Amino acid sequence: MRPDVGAGNHVLPVQATVWFRLEYELVEENGETYIAATGRPFDIQKALYQPLDLPPVTKQPVRPEGWQEWPHLHLARLNAKSSQEILEFVNRWGLLGLWNVESYREWRPAGEEYKPYRVRGIKLSHETWFSKHFANPVYKNSREHKLHLYREPLEAFVWAAEEFQHFVTLANGEKPEGYRYAPKKPEDRKNEAQDILNRYLAGCRPVSWYTAKPEQWTTHWQAPSLLHYCYLLMWFDLTGLRQYRRCQHRPCGGVFIATRPNVDYCSTRCYENAKRLRSYYREERGII
């Protein structure tokens, strides 16, 4: 049976098109830090959104924060060492969905034995079990709280965010910092990015469905996690020949999509700040 949610005058299949976002906070438990829902009441219509239905990049934003309008660019520019920035991300886009990502599903602290969580009353195969660390212990098995089942260990979130940023760096032909054995040639780095991307694309697929009112066949993409959606959005950008660059204003240095061939800064603010710095250093050196 297909669950549906109304969106304007359309009915869209939840499983095929949307992700969810709630209000999250950091919670300590047995020495581990988790990103968990606050437990406050929420409107399911507001909690669900479509990651792939966001408008494309058309112009350079005024501020660097303008690139947070898209989940994959927000994740690519995220400071994974900042708990505050991570909370801002999840409260805007939701958890990454690592319980549905094969390489993270069995996450547990070093030295701990894997203990799977099985949803009560639902028969799931071994392939869909996930670590108990992704299950919120205050979860109530009720229709109103069903989306509160999941949480994410902060450490696992950081690993996934850094892996995605590593992929973006390689896909841009850049040498990742701190990787001693990274490929030397840009084309080899992009080949390595290709392998990472294909691993996630294998979990995504196009889907179609029929609606009677209005009568039509429509199509969309299905992905098991927000992290998959971020890789899928990157794939759309790469195959659409959108050019990724890194902001030349050093305090920023974030990746962005170039909207013009000669743009070197991610935002008007970074351009003006870099121009101001150049003027300052020219005056310091007596160059007018």
Annotated domain spans of the chain: 4-242, 244-288
Would you write out the chain's pLDDT as a tens digit for each of its 288 residues?
Answer: 233 444 444 444 444 568 988 899 999 998 999 999 887 666 666 688 889 888 877 788 889 999 999 999 999 999 999 999 999 999 999 999 999 999 999 998 888 888 888 666 555 555 668 898 998 887 755 555 555 788 999 999 999 999 999 999 999 999 888 777 788 899 999 999 999 999 999 999 998 878 888 898 888 888 999 999 999 999 999 998 888 999 999 889 999 999 888 899 999 999 999 888 877 666 666 554
What confidence tens digit (pLDDT) does each residue in 123-180 have? 555 566 889 899 888 775 555 555 578 899 999 999 999 999 999 999 999 988 877 7
Local structure of 158: helix, strand or coil: helix
Q: What is the pTM of this model?
A: 0.86
With a CB cutoff of 8 Å and minimum separation 6, the contacts of 36 are 24, 25, 26, 27, 136, 138, 151
Buried b (16+ CB within 10 A) or exposed e, 192-219: bbeebbeebeebbeeeebeeeeeeeeee
